């Protein structure tokens, strides 16, 4: 695929580490003007050191108003990747209200908040925008000790479809990518234990977890005009896990 995002202003959330960080670097390589947002400034600073063309924004997405102000400052945005996420894991009977609220605030409510501002501006400017939400295989399949996370990703898929339905008329496409396990900091949290990871690997027809680059490729495709007739889909990047 020949991809060039020259002239495009692209916001990536959760860009301090993991999938979002590699995505930000890739989009900058494709000549996009990248805005990398996440919570911890120290990670963002190392990203800036790696590619000085990337603008960094340190915001706690749990804070609705601070997030809105930060996003309004960087408008216009042509492409948006809602990638930031948290995973609070544990038995259903032990998880707390605090963990529930944090997960829903970061994984779901922040997507609603940011996308509302950015798509509103896209509509005013009459541009063909593209939004990609990073969901998970956990939106469809229940995973042990992942009840809040699964619920949040189920909400991400439905929000994605609802946004696609209402924003399609303005030529704004909205899709999600739904990866299996990727060995980032978050992936290690749930799957470092070889016993647990083997039981998951046994359910993946391709017999391995996803590489960060494989998730980035899917996001780039959905952002780009190469997917110009695709909206409202949840694209598994899961080695066939959801096919079984």
The stretch among 9-17, 115-123, 197-205, 226-234 that binds ligand NAP (CB under 6 A) is 9-17
Q: Are 84 and 110 in contact (CB under 8 A)?
A: yes
Name the segment binding ligand NAP (CB under 6 A); options: 15-23, 89-97, 197-205, 228-236: 15-23
Q: For the sheet containing 9-13, what is the strand order? A: 55-58, 33-38, 9-13, 79-82, 130-134, 173-179, 234-237
Q: State residue 237 phi and psi, 5-degree precision.
A: -125, 70
Q: Which of 8, 10, 12, 16 binds ligand NAP (CB under 6 A)?
A: 16
Q: Measured from the CB atom, is 171 or 197 closer to ligand NAP?
A: 197
Q: Rule CB under 6 A: choose which of 61, 131, 159, 164 binds ligand NAP.
A: 61
* DSSP code of residue 211: P
Helix spans in the chain (H): 18-29, 41-50, 64-74, 97-104, 110-125, 147-167, 185-191, 194-201, 212-223
Tell whether residue 48 is a contact of ligand NAP (CB under 6 A): no
**Which residue, among 109, 9, 16, 29, has the nearest Cα to 57 in the 3D structure?**
16
Nearer to ligand NAP, 105 or 224 (CB): 105
CB of 232 to ligand NAP, least distance (A): 19
Q: Which residues bind ligand NAP (CB under 6 A)?
A: 14, 16-20, 38-40, 43, 60-62, 83-86, 106, 134, 136, 179, 181-182, 184-187
């Amino acid at each position: 695929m020949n991809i060039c995002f020259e002239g495009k202003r692209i916001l990536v959330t959760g860009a301090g580490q993991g999938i979002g960080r590699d995505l930000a670097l890739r989009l900058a390589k494709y000549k996009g003007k990248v805005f990398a947002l996440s919570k911890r400034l120290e990670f963002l600073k190392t990203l800036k050191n790696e590619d000085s063309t990337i603008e960094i924004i340190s915001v706690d997405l749990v804070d609705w108003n601070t997030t809105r102000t930060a996003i309004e400052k960087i408008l216009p945005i042509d492409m948006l990747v809602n990638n930031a996420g948290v995973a609070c894991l544990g038995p259903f009977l032990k998880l707390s209200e605090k963990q529930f609220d944090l997960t829903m605030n970061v994984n779901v409510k922040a997507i609603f908040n940011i996308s509302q501002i950015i798509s509103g501006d896209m509509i005013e400017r009459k541009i063909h925008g593209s939004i990609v939400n990073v969901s998970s295989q956990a939106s469809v399949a229940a995973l042990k000790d992942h009840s809040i996370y699964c619920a949040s990703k189920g909400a991400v898929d439905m929000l994605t479809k609802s946004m696609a339905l209402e924003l399609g008329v303005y030529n704004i496409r909205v899709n999600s990518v739904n990866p299996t396990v990727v060995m980032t900091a978050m992936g290690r949290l749930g799957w470092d234990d070889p016993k647990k990871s083997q039981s998951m690997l046994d359910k993946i027809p391709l017999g391995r977890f996803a590489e960060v680059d494989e998730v980035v490729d899917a996001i780039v495709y959905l952002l780009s005009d190469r997917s110009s007739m695709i909206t409202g889909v949840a694209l598994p990047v899961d080695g066939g896990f959801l096919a079984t």
